[in-house]
Structure 1
Amino acid sequence: MIEQLVDQLSPRDRAILLDLARVRVLTGEQLTRLHFQDLSITTRDRTRRRVLARLAEHDLVTPLERTIGGARAGSAGLVFALGVTGQRALPLLASARDAAGGGESRARRPWTPGQMFLKHSLAISELYVQLHEAQAASQLVLGRFAVEAAAWWPDGAGGLLKPDASACVAHDDIEDSWFVEVDRATESPVTLGRKLRRYVDFARTGQLGPDGVTPRVLLTVPHERRMRDVRNLMARLPPPADQLIFPEFFETATARVVQMLRE
């Protein structure tokens, strides 16, 4: 049954499922930018609604109960995750293991998380979408993007670094590896400082990340007040913090990645 269903999926259907496997949640607007942007303005929203309705009918995707952006956002503000059938179909899709972070797990009915957790998850997804848009604009090649447990990495001291995401981007013969922390100013500066110190310790002991180098750390912040907190924390961290951790406002984070790739 699932095999027959997968055989009927279009390349775009498959890409939607793999993106949801990779980042867990995407809004209708984010899915439009990823998979329907090449359509005309008059047809892209209608086509997205039709495609997602068809996938939802087979429980390949499912809309969560909570929306983002208020009533005016309409279906573009709906948040989608993989349905149970979509989770079961992943092993049959090309590169599904890499997209989902490896390993098979029991399919679970998606649940709607709290607003704070959901907004954080969607911010990580937004960074993924922006990097894809930079790739479409020939500014970089996105070689890898992993979130949640798929991005975690041994810290060399018996524990795990737990970044929100990790990524590898390239341009020409240059390749940059990143750990990503999407900070929304919900943690205390003390807690954030401890997290940043672990990245410094990782680098000081010569540990390597998933791309065979010590990744830089992209720390996105939501506003100027939080940036001041981060700068105060950075001033108290030992070397090589200033060459390792790069704080940036979320809105300009992708541009910073592109800029550093070309330096």
Structure 2
Amino acid sequence: MSGIAGVGGAAGRGHLDGRLASTHIPASSPVSPEFRVLLDANDGAHSGTTHQQPTRRRTRQPIRDLSAVAKQLSERDWAIVRSVAEHRFLTVRHIETLHFGDLALVSGRRKAQRTLAKLRRLRVLDNLTHRVGGLAAGSNGMVHFVDDIGQRLLRRESGTVVRRRFHTPTERFLDHQLGIGDVHVALVEANRGERLELLKCDIEPTAWRDYVGVGAARLTLKPDLYIETASTPGSEYVDSAFIEVDMGTESIPTLIRKCYEYEAYWRQGIEQEQNEGVFPLVVWSIAAETSSKAEKRREVLRRAIDKDRKLRSELFRVIAPDELVPTMQKGGGL
């Protein structure tokens, strides 16, 4: 019987929606008057995570004909724009791996660079002046976000008219978002190398879960990612996990409070009802500025979870970022 092996048993296998896909916006779609004015871009950051003054943007001529831009975009271009919008920020390496990994390394890198240059020229994407890894990282450290025209195209596609001004992200927020991107890329690479099969990868806020707390309070569990994998391609069993990415910026008590939220959600039984008694593993991927500090934080969190009588320690795994794929390969179910 096929199933999802998480915590508690097996459940029915979900749809194979972890692969990259794109729906092209018809180039002939009419442009409504509301899109004739240049709209502000948005990095999608939560309130309080970015500087409150908008970045000074260079003066550029407005592009009013969205259909003319859409005609210049391929299916892969659209997939890239959606990925960047989903993650808020991605490096060149992230984009290259997600969307050009089917090509040879050198040719894939060159094509990725040419494609991103085109998207920046069209103002579909733009890049931060800050580079991850400094100057030594070169172009691979360039961080991209969805620019004015990309935001307008995505709003036209979804039918929304939300306008948000771009703010330069704080270093803390940017590091966290890029850490989420690292997880996604690692899973895609593992899938491509047939070390596991990536069936689903939901990024926040798609990964979030609503539930009812004490006193009928409406609450939301906010994992960074939700994933479903099979330990081997074509396996009949599926493993699921909520992923929490910590870059060494939160205190251990803060992480434990987040564990309490997972415990409360587990007690609701919502996930189990949907997946034949299964609750996904909660995987803490812990990094820090040095390897020794990261390992110390992982050990402290493991001990804190094990000693806390309010927590079911079997719900949680505390790992280094490079241990995620082996953890999912093991299945991890009770």
Q: Same fold (TM over 0.5)?
A: yes
Residue 75 of structure 1 is matched in structure 2 by 139
**Residue 230 of structure 2 corresponds to residue 167 of structure 1:** no
The aligned runs of 1:249-260 (5 Å cut-off) are 249-260=320-331
Deviation at 1:4, TM superposition (A): 4.0
Alignment partners' CA distance in 1, 2:126 and 2:165: 9
* 2:200 alignment partner, one of 144, 155, 158: 144
Unmatched segments (≥5 aa) in structure 2: 1-64, 288-293
Q: Name the counterpart of 1:129.
A: 185
Shift of 1:108: 3.7
What residue number does 1:9 align with? 73
Equivalent-residue separation in structure 1 for 2:212 and 2:238 (angstroms): 23
Secondary structure, aligned partner of 2:205: helix
Deviations 1:238-259 (A, max 9, x none): 4762221111111221231233
Higher relative contact order (CA 8 A, sep 6+): 2
The alignment status of 1:216 with 2:272, answered yes or no, reads no
Q: Which runs of 5+ in 1 are unaligned?
A: 98-102
The correspondence of residues 1-263 of structure 1 with structure 2, limited to 5 A, is: 1-90=65-154, 104=160, 106-157=162-213, 158-170=218-230, 171=233, 172-208=235-271, 212=275, 213-222=278-287, 223-238=294-309, 241-260=312-331
Provide the residue aligned with 1:100 in structure 2: none
More helix by share: 1
DSSP 3-state at the match of 2:73: coil
Question: Does structure 1 retain, via aligned residues, the 8 Å contact 2:202–2:226?
Answer: yes
Note closer, same or farther for the CA distance 1:19–1:119 as it changes in structure 2 (3 Å cut): same
1:175·1:261 contact (CA, 8 Å) conserved in 2? no
* 1-structure distance, mates of 2:120, 2:267: 48
Query: Contact 1:55 / 1:61 at 8 angstroms: preserved in 2?
Result: yes
- Render the CA deviation track for 1:6-55: whole Å, top value 9, x for unaligned: 34322221221121122221101111222223434443333222110101
Report the alpha carbon displacement of residue 168 of structure 1 after superposing the two structures with TM. Answer: 2.4
- State TM-score, norm by structure 2: 0.69
Q: Max radius of gyration: which structure?
A: 2
Cα gap change, 1:191/1:41 in structure 2, threshold over 3 Å: closer, same or farther? closer
Q: Is the 8 A contact 2:198 2:229 kept in 1?
A: yes
Q: Give the residue type in structure 1 aligned to 2:320.
A: F
Alpha carbon RMSD of aligned pairs, Å? 2.6
Cα contact 2:155–2:162 (8 A) shared by 1: no
Q: Give the secondary structure class of the aligned counterpart of 1:121.
A: helix
Q: Specify the SS of the correspondent of 1:257.
A: helix
Q: Report the Cα distance in structure 2 between the residues aligned to 1:111 and 1:210, rounded to whole angstroms.
A: 41
Indicate the percent of aligned positions where both proteins have the same amino acid: 31
Is 1:219–1:248's contact at 8 Å kept on the other side of the alignment?
A: yes
Deviates more, 1:150-159 or 1:185-194: 150-159
User: Is contact 2:203-2:224 (8 Å) kept?
Assistant: yes
Bigger mean CA deviation after superposition, 104-113 or 230-239: 104-113
Residue 226 (structure 1) shift? 0.7
C-alpha distance after superposition, 1:68-117 (max 9, x if no partner): 01101111110011112212223666xxx6xxxxx846244543312121
